[in-house]
Amino acid sequence: MDNKQMSALLEILNDSVIFDADMASYSTLRAGGRAEALCFINNLPLLTGVIGFLNRESINWMTIGKGSNLLVTDQGIKGAVLILKGELAAISRRSGNLVTAGGGLSNRELIKYCIHEGLSGMEFLAGVPGTLGGAVMMNAGAYGEETGSFIEKIGVVTSSGNAEELAGSGINFSYRKSSIEERSVIYSITLKLKNGERGQVRERVEKNWSMRRESQPLDMPNCGSVFKNPPGGYAARLIESSGLKGFKIGGAMISPKHANFIVNTGDAKASDILALIEVARKRVKEDSGILLETEIRVVGQ
């Protein structure tokens, strides 16, 4: 990105951009390199405008949420990183059991809203870090529920910069994935929820939170589950069976509390985490014949 492009980006975004941004500060793993530009987008016209500019200038770009399920390489990101803010990270309206929110809304804020409004369905997301847009894109799930089951419609900006609406019934959701174009940006989601009683919704949320606190290393920087569960099994059990709980490379460690979590003990580099991922995959393959597939998104040079 040259000086002229940087100046143009500053003008378009009204200074809502950070150049040479430390991406470790925007990742729940607290590791990784820097990005050429970190852009904060607070409405749809700005989103389409920025993507159009970046495409015309042949500048690589990507979108991130809260930085969970994400690892930026130590070499960093060449190009622009987009983060949805403002109205694109808020609940915009409710009509009966239909709730529309921006793709950048945090799962935590959604859960708080559902408790307050007595709306049921999304309790399984309690304690899941990240944004609603990320949960839709990867069909996040827990306790037998998945995000895709509650999607009425979504608004996306395609990789070419065009805004479109997609009906939930036309999206193919499967385990930890969806048929939504990978480089599109989900700017709006309409959820079809169920009426519930505030106290009961809160009770289910607190129960899920409690189970996560007991079983997951939420007190240390992590990115959530590193590997997808293989058919009929659990990645954590396979990693534990290979004797890797507590195994460290540099500042990265396979959590002694939950073997499908890698934690940053304080000074982990992205290369430490990537090396640990490869050790786990190799050992599990040798011991069980199963090749684990990563759930974490690795980005950068």
Q: Report the catalytic residues.
A: 176, 225, 295
Indicate the DSSP class of residue 23. Answer: G
CA 93, CA 235: separation in Å to the nearest integer? 39
Residues 6+ apart with CB under 8 A from 66: 28, 106, 129, 130, 131, 134
DSSP state of 228: P
Three-state DSSP class for 238? helix
* Bridge partner residues of 141 (DSSP): 146
Q: How far is CA 94 from CA 110, 137, 138, 183, 225, in A?
A: 12, 22, 24, 28, 32
User: How far from each other are the two terminal CA atoms of the chain, in whole angstroms?
Assistant: 15
Nearest to 28 by CA among 300, 296, 301, 236: 296
Q: Phi, psi (5° rounding) for residue 183? A: -95, 5
Give residue 143's identity as a one-letter amino acid code: Y
Look up residue 221 and give its DSSP letter: -
Q: At CA 179, angle to CA 178 and CA 183, rounded to 5?
A: 95
Which two three-digit tokens encode residue 294?
A: 């990563």
Alpha helical stretches, state H, the chain: 3-13, 44-56, 107-117, 132-137, 198-215, 235-241, 270-288
Q: Which helix (H) or strand (E) holds 114?
A: helix 107-117
